[in-house]
């Protein structure tokens, strides 16, 4: 049973617009929520995180929102750039991370 779900396997966005990636989880006991970005033939790269005591964390063009009551996490990228095209994974937990299955983002010029 998947504890972390990314229901959109792919997303296509125009350059300069906002990209919104979504993630749902089942266990309300998770403490930390993270987003990773992965290019082909490379390992995942950490992007941004948020703890369960916050509902928003921002780092440059990347903002993560946490809705604990809905058990929902989202990543906003604005403005989107072609170099953002990659697979994005959400991960939840603490010492042990549980990953979603990823959303492939394509940013078109």
CB 28 within 8 A of CB 4: no
Residue 18 or 58: the one with the smaller Cβ distance to another protein is 58
Does the footprint of another protein cover residue 60 (CB under 8 A)? no
Sequence-distant (≥ 6) Cβ neighbours of residue 103 within 8 angstroms: 6, 8, 9, 10, 11, 21, 22, 87, 88
Residue 49 or 74: the one with the smaller Cβ distance to another protein is 49
Nearest to 105 by CA among 55, 52, 61, 56: 61
Restricted to residues 3-42, the positions that interact with another protein (CB under 8 A) are 32, 34, 36, 41-42
Does the footprint of another protein cover residue 89 (CB under 8 A)? yes
104 alpha-carbon distance from chain centroid: 11
Among 7, 67, 81, 101, binds another protein (CB under 8 A): 101
Residues forming the site for another protein (CB under 8 A): 32, 34, 36, 41-46, 49, 51, 87, 89, 94-99, 101-102
């Amino acid at each position: 049973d998947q504890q972390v779900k990314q229901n959109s396997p792919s997303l296509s966005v125009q350059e300069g617009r906002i990209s919104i990636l979504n993630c749902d989880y089942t266990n309300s006991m998770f403490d930390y929520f993270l987003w990773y970005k992965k290019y082909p033939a490379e390992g995942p790269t950490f992007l941004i995180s948020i703890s369960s005591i916050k509902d928003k964390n921002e780092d440059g063009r990347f903002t993560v929102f946490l809705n604990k009551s809905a058990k929902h996490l989202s990543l906003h990228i604005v403005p989107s750039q072609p170099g953002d095209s990659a697979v994005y994974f959400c991960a939840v937990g603490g010492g042990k991370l549980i990953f979603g299955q990823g959303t492939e983002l394509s940013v078109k010029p």
